[in-house]
Structure 1
Amino acid sequence: MTTLNGNKQLLSAWLAGADPVPDAVHAAWAERGMALLPLGRRFDAIRVSAERIHAAVNSSEPGTVADFLGGWLAGPVIRDIRSGLGPYYVLIATGAPWNGAEERLSTNTFLGVPRLGRPVSMLTRWVVPPSAPGALCDPAHLRALLLTAEALRVVEP
């Protein structure tokens, strides 16, 4: 159990380090279960519609989507859960190339990041939590996944 808690603390510290004032991030997580983190410092995010993700995974069931994305993207993914249409945010390295149609969010943008552990925020959830500091999604894997969604859309009647 100590390793799990130690890893959670390490990951929380790494995420909070995206903000110039990490203590404010920890306070927001404690108070609201979510903190707005600036992008472009530790990571960027690709905003992908739920429709595209669900088409590629062939499911909208949260457990199925989480398992699939965890295996395919092998990095952290957050979902806006205010509605069933809420987008997914795939976290990638700041310098990673991205040429897809989905919007890349970076410098001068903030992302609502839930605290690790038991969810408390009514706005966002970890679909795939981070596994290690700096372990982010590979944009090439995301691109391949979205191309699959496009191919499926063409073949479906």
Structure 2
Amino acid sequence: MSVTRADAARRWLTRADPDLDHAERWFAQTGIVLMPLGRQWDAVRVNGAIAEAVLDEGIEGPVIRDHEAVYFLVGLGTSLSWNAPHSEGLGVACYVTVPAPERTAGPGVHWAQAPDGNGQLVDAARLHALLTAAHTETAR
């Protein structure tokens, strides 16, 4: 039996939950699960037009869209020193609503860019540079 990209992504995502059965159950029943940050990844929250501008630049990696906020999944520890404008680094003691890998359209929480199951995260340095450039552009 071959493993699909969605299956691989689901397995990768559930490893972020201390209780794998919890994540699987919620994905199956509701298509979303509240997961802790700081176990598999951290996240950077960006709101509104700035988030859309960053996505338009073609940044790679998993990105969750939740109403006005966009969450870029980044490496562990990124939140500890995060200081880019128009954003907030989130890590240990924070949670994010994670959609099932196949939820790639709204309404509701969905992937702007779904994970591939290989563990690729958003490049935090590139994200920081894009946010800094967007801040400079809006300040003009």
Q: Which residue of 1 aligns with 2:77?
A: 95
CA contact (8 A) 2:77 2:91 kept: no
CA–CA separation in structure 2 for the residues paired with 1:120 and 1:40:
26
Aligned residues between the structures:
137
Counterpart for residue 16 of structure 1: 14
Among 23, 26, 29, the alignment partner of 1:28 is 26
Question: What is the percent sequence identity of the aligned residues?
Answer: 34
Correspondences of 1:52-131 after superposition (within 5 Å): 52-54=50-52, 56=53, 65=55, 68=56, 71=58, 73-81=59-67, 86-96=68-78, 98-101=82-85, 102-119=87-104, 122-131=107-116
Paired letter, 1:117: E
SS in 2 for 1:153: helix
Counterparts of 1:53 and 1:11, CA distance in 2 = 23
Match of 1:135 in 2: 120
How much does 1:20 deviate? 1.2
One-letter amino acid matched to 1:20: P
Output the CA distance in 2 between the equivalents of 1:143 and 1:120. Answer: 26
CA distance in 2, matches of 1:137, 1:43: 10
Larger Rg: 1
In the alignment, what sits opposite 2:40? 42
- Supply the AA of the counterpart residue of 1:108: A
Q: What runs of 5+ residues in structure 2 fail to find an aligned partner? A: none
Q: Which deviations, in whole Å up to 9, do the C-alpha atoms of 1:75-114 show, x marking residues without a partner?
A: 1110112xxxx11101001134533242111111111000
- Aligned partner of 1:9: which letter? D
Report the secondary structure of 2:130's partner residue. helix
Partner of 1:153: 138
TM-score normalised to structure 2 length: 0.85
Q: Report the Cα distance in structure 2 between the residues aligned to 1:135 and 1:98, rounded to whole angstroms.
A: 19
Q: Which whole-Å CA distance do the structure 1 matches of 2:103 and 2:117 have between them? A: 18
Distance 2:123 2:47 in 1: 18
Cα offsets for 1:27-80 (capped at 9, x unmatched): 1011111000111000010010113223x35xxxxxxx5xx35x2x21111011
Cα-Cα RMSD: 2.1
Q: 2: CA distance between counterparts of 1:107 and 1:141?
A: 22
Unaligned runs of 5+ in 1: 58-64
